[in-house]
């Protein structure tokens, strides 16, 4: 079963108010993750690509091949429910090119800050490919999946990042209100299409 990635999102900043729930986790199913994930998708708290304070993860050495100007299939499974949304970004030369985690609006509680909502890029700007994916407030047991447009570029080891913003969530150490996974892509530009100039040239 596929869940639609199409939403009617107004231009400008979208703030999503979402009710309280428990701590979330997600597992990257497609493309293959760059690190070995357990059944819940851990380790995934540290940005930009997972790991945590004591375990940065063991590499899978997986490299997915894709055609520039085409689409990449994204499939994730939320293993522990939490309301929120997802964002997909792409770095050409280094994970350091990936954007900061979604900017969160928080509220103060007796146990510290708690997330309320986050900004969503609409329209997305490089290095973000798509934002506001799979906005949800209820538990879904089947995977989320969609096809995302890739820029027409060449890169041997691009970093595709998928992050989950969690509303109504306490601060994680590390990661705050965001969980992270990445995959390594080898993208070959389609010679029939012009190269996308807004993206860095592979060094």
End-to-end CA distance of the chain: 40
User: What CA–CA distance (Å, rounded) separates 145 from 2?
Assistant: 6
Contact criterion met (CB below 8 Å) for 82 and 71: no
Q: How many helices (H) and strands (E) does the chain have?
A: 0, 10
Residue 5 predicted with pLDDT over 70: no
Assign 136 to helix, strand or coil.
strand
CA atoms within 13 A on the CB side of 30: 13
Helices (H), the chain: none
Contact criterion met (CB below 8 Å) for 136 and 24: no
Residue 14 predicted with pLDDT over 80: no
The reported pLDDT for the residue numbered 112 is 84
Q: Pick the more confident residue, 119 or 8.
A: 119
Q: Pick the more confident residue, 131 or 44.
A: 131
Summarised one tens digit per residue, pLDDT across range 141-167 is 899 999 999 999 999 999 999 999 988
pTM to 2 decimals?
A: 0.84
Give all domains of the chain, ordered by start, each with its CATH number. Answer: 25-188 (2.70.50)
CA–CA distances in Å: residue 17 to residues 31, 96, 116, 118: 30, 30, 6, 9
- Tell me the percentage of the chain whose pLDDT exceeds 70: 88
Residue 28 predicted with pLDDT over 50: yes
User: What CA–CA distance (Å, rounded) separates 92 from 119?
Assistant: 24
């Amino acid at each position: 079963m596929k869940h639609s990635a199409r939403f009617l999102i107004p231009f400008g900043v979208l703030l999503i108010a979402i009710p309280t729930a428990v701590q979330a986790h997600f597992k990257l199913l497609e493309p293959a993750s760059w690190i070995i994930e357990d059944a819940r998708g851990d380790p995934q708290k540290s940005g930009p690509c997972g790991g945590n304070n004591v375990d940065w993860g063991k590499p899978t050495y997986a490299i997915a091949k894709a055609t520039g100007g085409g689409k990449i299939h994204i499939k994730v499974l939320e293993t522990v429910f939490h309301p929120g949304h997802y964002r997909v970004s792409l770095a050409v030369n280094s994970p350091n090119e990936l954007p900061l985690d979604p900017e969160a609006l928080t509220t103060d509680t007796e146990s510290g800050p708690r997330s309320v909502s986050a900004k969503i890029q609409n329209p997305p700007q490089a290095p973000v490919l798509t934002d506001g994916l799979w906005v949800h407030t209820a538990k879904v047991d089947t995977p989320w999946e969609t096809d995302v447009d890739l820029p027409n570029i060449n890169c041997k080891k691009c970093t595709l990042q998928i992050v989950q913003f969690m509303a109504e969530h306490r601060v994680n150490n590390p990661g705050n209100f965001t969980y992270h996974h990445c995959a390594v892509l080898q993208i070959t530009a389609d010679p029939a299409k012009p190269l996308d100039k807004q993206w860095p040239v592979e060094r």
